[in-house]
Amino acid sequence: MIHITEADAKTFGNCEELSDVIHTERVAAGVTRICLDRPEARNALRPADLDALRTAIVEAADPVVLVEGAGAAFCAGADLNVVADLDDPAAFAARGQRTARAIESAASVVIAGVDGPARGGGVELALACDLRVATPDASFAESGIGLGLFGAWGGTHRLPRAVGPAVARDLMLSGRVVDATEARRMGLVSRVVDDPAAVATAVAEHSEEALVTVKRLLRGERSRLEHGGGAERAEAADRAGGAQRAEAAEREAFAALHAAHVGESDTESSGESDFESSGDSDFESSDESGSECSGESNSKSDHRSPSGSGDESR
């Protein structure tokens, strides 16, 4: 069982529950915060959680959405006990991909406020956000390779766009952990700040119409396909088609690796990941404490690991 100290437990203001894990609240004018609130499992996501997160993103009425995690981590990605029991791994990958696409295509500007570890699918959901802002305690890893798996929520096409092909290969093939400073240097995050909410509030001070327009243009979305010139339409269509092909390949490969590796692993019923080959101090703390979506935010202690292996989530 993972224990989280009271000092580590990040808490939030009054929330609306969309599930037992996904909560929303309006924290400032123009800013909705979405809280991933499953700290006992480092905010690892199950199928229903992915659906609830997608709903929260789509239904957000504010021009800026801030996604953060409760407890000692941002998000550990997929719940690997769920992954172990999947009857249809490709469908599960498709579910995560749909959620990431909803984040990417949302009308709102979506900001990932990463405080503590982000692993596997947690990194991939952050990659779908318009801005990724880290605290000094943040760390990142595409840790699936250590489990005989890989990230299948769109990371194979979004990570190279964010950090370049060479660095993306390094991160995905090594599974190594990078801290906030290195993440900023490689372009995985745009800022390292003490309070990601302050960034969201500052962005929300700008014209909503301007934010929506600039996001659409940066993403190269449908209006450019419909109204741009022939070359521009072809470029945008090729980009969209490339993402679709990459995600189809991810689903197929994830299903094959799942059959080859996950089925060989024993699982338990504790809710913890059971595919670890070694311990990972990124997610360990000494005292047990719950985390609620209410109250004042507290800073997290340093959960970075000097190791690039042993992570517990895809």
- List the CATH number of the domain containing 145: 3.90.226.10
Model confidence pLDDT, tens digit, residues 245-274:
888 888 888 888 888 876 555 443 333 333
Structure tokens at 170: 């390094």
Flag whether 1 is in a domain.
Answer: no
Give dist(CA 196, CA 234) in Å, integer.
37
Q: Burial letters for 46-61: b for 16+ Cβ neighbours within 10 Å, e otherwise?
A: beebbbbbbbbbeebe
| Average pLDDT per consecutive 10 residues, the chain (314 residues; last block may be shorter) | 31 49 93 96 94 96 97 93 88 93 95 97 97 98 89 91 96 96 98 97 96 88 53 55 81 85 50 36 39 46 37 42
Flag whether 275 is in a domain.
Answer: yes
Which residues is 134 bridged to in the sheet? Answer: 114, 192
Predicted pLDDT at 228: 54
Flag whether 301 is in a domain.
Answer: no
Question: What residues make up the domain containing 221?
Answer: 16-283
Flag whether 157 is in a domain.
Answer: yes
Contacts of 293 (CB under 8 A, 6+ apart): 11, 12, 13, 14, 15, 17, 23, 25, 35, 37, 70
Q: Are the C-beta atoms of residues 132 and 114 closer than 8 Å to each other?
A: yes
Give dist(CA 17, CA 35) in Å, integer.
10
Q: Give pTM, 2 decimals.
A: 0.77
Predicted pLDDT at 284: 41
Flag whether 246 is in a domain.
Answer: yes
Measured CA distances, 32 to 60, 62, 111, 290 (Å): 7, 6, 10, 23
Predicted pLDDT at 312: 40
Predicted pLDDT at 124: 96
Instruction: Count CB-CB contacts under 10 A for residue 252.
Output: 14
Q: Into how many domains does the chain fold?
A: 1
Structure tokens at 164: 């370049």
Predicted pLDDT at 60: 95
Predicted pLDDT at 184: 98
Q: Are the C-beta atoms of residues 32 and 26 closer than 8 Å to each other?
A: yes
Flag whether 305 is in a domain.
Answer: no
